[in-house]
Amino acid sequence: AILPTYLSAFVIGAQTLIVIRALRLLRVFRVLKLVHFVGEARELRTALRASARKIIIFLGAVLTIVVIVGALIYLIEGEEHGFISIPESIYWAIVTMTTVGYGDIAPQTAPGKFLAAAIMILGYGIIAVPTGIVSVEIAGVARRRISTIACPQCASEGHDTDAIFCKFCGARL
């Protein structure tokens, strides 16, 4: 980042690089546009904090399932099919449940393949469940922003807290 400045001091004709460097400073002004999103970021942080316990409990359940499935696949497949230890089998369960599927270890027997298919389907819940939990919390944060001020003209409630006009009849609040 500071190389153009030193080049311009020692290399003839490199002074044009200073102009390019000065233009790069304009990128800083892009960051200032992000100030509009501070309120939304605060709401997201509030929602994540509110859902943290639920997500931790969910991840604990996922960890328990991974250990159980790892032990099961070790018992079903055995060392002759590449599952040489329970930790290695737990690694396979994590890779399969997250739908990464490296392919370094794969079940060979029918019961092992059935368990793998069940774990793959269950793996989609790893994304869906926390997403649902956080979405509900975000909706709750947005719901709490609604004011209970009644419109003087139509007596409707449920306006945004920063509303100036009624969203139903247009009268001034």
Domains of the chain, by residue range, sit at 37-144
Q: What is the DSSP letter of 85?
A: S
Q: What is the mean pLDDT of the segment spanning 7-19? A: 61
Predicted TM-score (pTM) above 0.85: no
**Among 2-11, 50-59, 85-94, 128-137, where is mean pLDDT lowest?**
2-11
- Report the distance separating Cα 41 and Cα 75, nearest Å: 47
**Among 16-25, 47-56, 149-158, where is mean pLDDT lowest?**
16-25
So what's the pLDDT on residue 57?
Answer: 95
**Among 45-59, 81-95, 114-128, 141-155, where is mean pLDDT lowest?**
141-155
CB 156 within 8 A of CB 150: yes
Q: Which position has the higher pLDDT, 92 or 11?
A: 92
Q: Which position has the higher pLDDT, 17 or 52?
A: 52
Asked whether residue 4 carries a pLDDT value surpassing 60, the answer given is no
**CATH class label, 37-144:** mainly alpha
- Report the distance separating Cα 143 and Cα 131, nearest Å: 18
Q: Which position has the higher pLDDT, 93 or 152?
A: 93
